[in-house]
Structure 1
Amino acid sequence: MSQSISQSTTDKVRWTAADLELFPENGNRYEIIEGELLVTRAPDWRHQKASTRISTALDTWSLSTGLGEAVQAPGLVFTAADNVIPDVVWVSRERLAALLDEAGHLTGAPELVVEVLSPGSENERRDRELKLKLYSERGVQEYWIIDWQRQQVEVYRRSQALLRLVNTLFSPDRLLSPLLPGFSYPVSQLFQ
């Protein structure tokens, strides 16, 4: 009897996408990575400002080139146990239709994912470790982490089947990407 009790107390609850339907609409953001539930509060003003600015820049570039689409806070459902809400994604026109399910969620890796860090060690762990690993495993080609507190952008690119840090950009630098020919955005504008 004591064996089953000690086992049940050490078993970890594995959350799924179906469980997310049960949570209230209360301003919190609920995500699941490898069955682990991650709850964050609504992002603050500086977070949303940086997210809106990069999304707008990517959207403007996309409209002018016709090469893809940028969206803020889409549902990204890789599996029932891996369901996240990145701050911004960019998907090429060629891949978009194949990635959308009937509910309008992305079910595969967009080419580019952007996360804006929120303050706190748990938030940093989520974006720098858990999401980096998830996006790497699922085939994201490029991952940008915008850190408005340090006023920098970390750029990860796929190399040898993994996302690897290739550059840390600061205010005088410009965001460029081989995925986005001709795209150029001053890092300083993210933090003005």
Structure 2
Amino acid sequence: MSQMLTAGVHWTIHDVELLPENEGTRYEIVDGELFVIRAPHFKHQQTCGKIFRQLDVWSESTGLGEASINPGVLFSESDNVIPDVVWATKETLAVMLDEGGHLTGAPDLVVEVLSASKEDLRRDKEAKLKLYSSRGVKEYWIADWRSPKLEVYRREQNQLKLVETLFNSDIIISPLLPGFSCTVNQFFPV
């Protein structure tokens, strides 16, 4: 769950650095708008772990890149987020991983797992979709463990567009991840 604070104020990474660190709370800024994200549902975290596991096993077997859970992605002073899961090629990581362990540009794939609130849904399906599209993310998956379903957005004509919605028995493949495939139900808890 998240909540937006102080509408109309343009937040930057420097403002967030002054906020107190609080276990179970994360801060994200999208277009200068601050979001406070509380600890997610247990099944949300299980979904993140299952998606990460599939990407990580494939990455280790191919050597093409690496997956990560909850990395910091610092696009700019007023756009920094903590996606649920990302995957990046080794080439992307070589250029965009800073000394603090944050990505300073677009990972190749971003995965967000939906939370329950309407604000979280709006953030992931609107604000973050626009952000990831404008910053060059090649593929964006939105996972909904309640349905369960997976929306797949791919870069077409310089923007992310919904190309398919997959359900439990469907198989996810991606031109970004050669040889990767699994049934969507492997992403979701029982």
> Which structure carries more strand by proportion?
2
1:150 positional shift: 1.3
- The letter of the residue matching 2:17 is E
What residue number does 1:139 align with?
Answer: 136
| Unaligned runs of at least 5 residues, structure 1 | 1-10
The count of aligned residue pairs is 183
Over the aligned positions, Cα root-mean-square deviation in angstroms equals 1.3
Measured against aligned partners, the alpha-carbon deviations of 1:52-92 in whole angstroms (never above 9, x if no partner) come to 00001101100000000000000000000001000000000
- The letter of the residue matching 1:19 is D
What residue number does 1:126 align with?
Answer: 123
TM-score when scaled to structure 1?
0.92
- The letter of the residue matching 2:111 is V
What residue number does 1:24 align with?
Answer: 20
What residue number does 1:7 align with?
Answer: none
What residue number does 1:56 align with?
Answer: 53
Sequence identity percentage: 61
Q: Is 2:8 aligned against 1:12?
A: yes
| Unaligned runs of at least 5 residues, structure 2 | 1-6
TM-score when scaled to structure 2?
0.93
Measured against aligned partners, the alpha-carbon deviations of 1:100-136 in whole angstroms (never above 9, x if no partner) come to 1221110111110000000010000000000000000
What residue number does 1:43 align with?
Answer: 40
- The letter of the residue matching 2:8 is K
State the SS of the aligned residue for 1:104: coil
Relative CO higher for 1 or 2, CA cutoff 8 Å, sep ≥ 6?
2
1:147-158 → structure 2 map (5 Å cutoff): 147-158=144-155
Distance in 1, matches of 2:186 and 2:94, equals 32
What residue number does 1:84 align with?
Answer: 81
Distance in 1, matches of 2:43 and 2:19, equals 26
- The letter of the residue matching 1:46 is K
Larger radius of gyration: 1
State the SS of the aligned residue for 1:21: helix
